Amino acid sequence: MSLSEEQIVRYSRHILLTPVGGRGQEHLLSCGAQLIGGGGALATAAAYLAAGGSPVWGDQGSVGEDEVGFLYDAQDVGLPRNLRLDAALADLNPDAMAHRSGGALARSPARLSGPGPWVLIGATEGGAGIVFRSATGCEKCFQLNAARLAGDDGSDGEVLLGTVAALIFQRLALEMPPSLGGFWIGESGEITPIEMRACEQCR
Ligand SMILES: [Zn+2]
């Protein structure tokens, strides 16, 4: 795909950033994320990705009160998330409704499928965690470390968690290394890399 004049204007900040550029923006526009699960972090991540041109689409489920903010308003609570997401995207950035294939952005526990990138978020004792893999990262290693993220609903720090998750997804879509990894995010916002466990084949 090549960028239209309108897209060059819309994404000019990205295109001027060396790691993104025109080719990179084409990658972002063609590598989308299915959102699996709900919560403020995923809603934040979806808004961030969509504004940057990455396609996002929803799963089953309805908009929760904790998702009201960037994409949904109070009237959306209780309505089907995928329909309300499409309505929000039509206003925010219709590019984010095209090319719906690629990866997933999910809240633990979730079954992820498709080539990738995969970004999984989950609450942990004293904060939250993110585990990710690109389309080339080992699926087994991802699953092994994803199991370390609890499924508790986080409530604090959801905006930070969602912003970091979106940034990681964009980096993976741009094929920037590493292809596998994770971060813990502490209650006070400190971000530290997860010491990843390796699967039998990768040991
Ligand atoms: Zn492995």
What digits encode the pLDDT tens for the residues 89-110?
999 999 999 988 899 999 999 9
Q: What is the pLDDT of residue 14?
A: 87
Q: What is the pLDDT of residue 124?
A: 78
Distance 125 CA to ligand 1 centre (A): 26
Q: What is the pLDDT of residue 41?
A: 93
Distance 183 CA to ligand 1 centre (A): 18
Distance 181 CA to ligand 1 centre (A): 11
Question: For residue 60, what are the contacts with CB-CB under 8 A and spacing of at least 6?
Answer: 80, 81, 82
Q: What is the pLDDT of residue 155?
A: 60
Q: Phi first, then psi: give them for residue 34, nearest 5 degrees.
A: -80, 130
Distance 135 CA to ligand 1 centre (A): 13
Distance 186 CA to ligand 1 centre (A): 26
Q: List, run by run, the mean pLDDT of 10-residue segments along the chain (203 residues).
A: 87 86 94 94 95 94 92 96 95 93 93 93 86 96 92 72 95 94 90 95 95
Distance 171 CA to ligand 1 centre (A): 20
**Long-range contacts, 195-199 (Cβ 8 Å, 24+):** 196/141, 196/145, 197/141, 197/144, 197/145, 197/148, 198/141, 198/144, 199/138, 199/140, 199/141, 199/143, 199/144
| CB distance 16 to 90 below 8 Å | no
pTM of the model: 0.93
